[in-house]
Structure 1
């Protein structure tokens, strides 16, 4: 009797498995491509891997005087759409001097109090900046630092490639880091020497 029950159970199990479509033997069979559901044969699309370091935003900068009379950049947000508007805003921030946080970082300015900087003209990447305000200008190394601040700040905007300085509308002889005076357009490269400290 027990043998009959076991045999009957085995037969029923075989019928159930066959009805579910579970193969009871044999090797794998190839399936025609036309029988494969749409999209399963297409390799998954891969998106490019994210960069290991996010792109740095090239923000406009004002250049301030740090310890050892080295010029140091500080990123600023500017208003305006055109170069002239953005530059006027940036130069206004430079003339205002360092913020409280920048003063905490021991940053100062060589520009005299009350000095106003305004964009007088823009000609194919050369910007004319007019200085108005106190008659007393800094002297010696402070003059070179002040001019370096203006030139490096202005040229931190990509469209401004060179700077001409005027004083109340008249051409101004500007000192290079070497002390030589020039009325030629000034570039950031002219003042790179002020971005590093004196040799020890």
Structure 2
């Protein structure tokens, strides 16, 4: 009986002290980081408003896709996120060598209720312009939208007609695309 009582007391003591965190009588506030943990702090100060929601934009650097994380006060709509993508990098991102392949592009995104596949209607502001960065442009859109928890894939259309667009390997697809389709173009931060 004494052995059993000692074993119970010892196991209770070990369970309570096993995690290495001292017990406290009252809760205390915890300061959380205000930037992604996997992104180093930029030496250039940002002029963006610091918010509570991280929004990811896939910009370009040296023919590669690079994720830029911005903070916002609220979750942006998919359309707002694409509008920011087309607008291009902010001053801090420009100083890091980031740009966009979508500067002359008009995008409209729809996400039907209950669906996780977004459809992007894409048109060039200047339709006569030839593009050499078409794969990067589609990659920016797909990689940006699929960082959202509500979008798993992206299809493209022009004036209501489905488009086949290039994947990162250059092959064409009319199926919903994901960031993995552009894996070969995703560069280091």
Q: What's the TM-score bracket when you normalise by the shorter of the two chains?
A: 0.5 to 0.7
| Alpha carbons of structure 1 residues 105 and 130: separation in structure 2 relative to 1, 3 Å | same
Kindly report structure 1 stretches of 4+ aligned residues shifted beyond 3 Å.
47-51, 53-58, 77-81, 136-140
**1:74 counterpart (57, 64, 68):** 68
Query: Which residue does the alignment assign to 2:60?
Result: 65
Number of residue pairs matched? 147
Query: Which residue does the alignment assign to 1:46?
Result: 23
Query: Which residue does the alignment assign to 1:186?
Result: 177
8 Å contact 1:79–1:86 — kept in the other structure? no
Q: CA RMSD in A?
A: 3.0
Query: What is the distance in 2 between the residues matched to 1:110 and 1:144?
Result: 9
| Alpha carbons of structure 1 residues 105 and 196: separation in structure 2 relative to 1, 3 Å | closer
Query: What is the distance in 2 between the residues matched to 1:79 and 1:116?
Result: 25
Instruction: List alignment gaps of at least 5 residues for structure 2.
Output: 1-21, 38-51
Q: Which of the pair has more CA radius of gyration?
A: 1
> Comparing both structures, which one devotes a greater share of its residues to strand?
2
1:1-200 residue pairs with structure 2 within 5 A?
Answer: 46-47=23-24, 56=37, 59-66=54-61, 68-77=62-71, 86-113=77-104, 115-122=105-112, 124-134=115-125, 135-136=127-128, 139-140=131-132, 142-196=133-187
> Comparing both structures, which one devotes a greater share of its residues to helix?
1
Query: What is the distance in 2 between the residues matched to 1:98 and 1:185?
Result: 26
8 Å contact 2:53–2:73 — kept in the other structure? no
**Deviation of residue 86 (structure 1)?**
1.2
| Alpha carbons of structure 1 residues 158 and 80: separation in structure 2 relative to 1, 3 Å | same
Give the secondary-structure state (helix, strand or coil) at the position aligned to 1:76: strand
Query: What is the distance in 1 between the residues matched to 2:60 and 2:54?
Result: 19
Question: TM-score scaled by structure 1?
Answer: 0.63
**Deviation of residue 76 (structure 1)?**
2.7
**Deviation of residue 132 (structure 1)?**
2.8
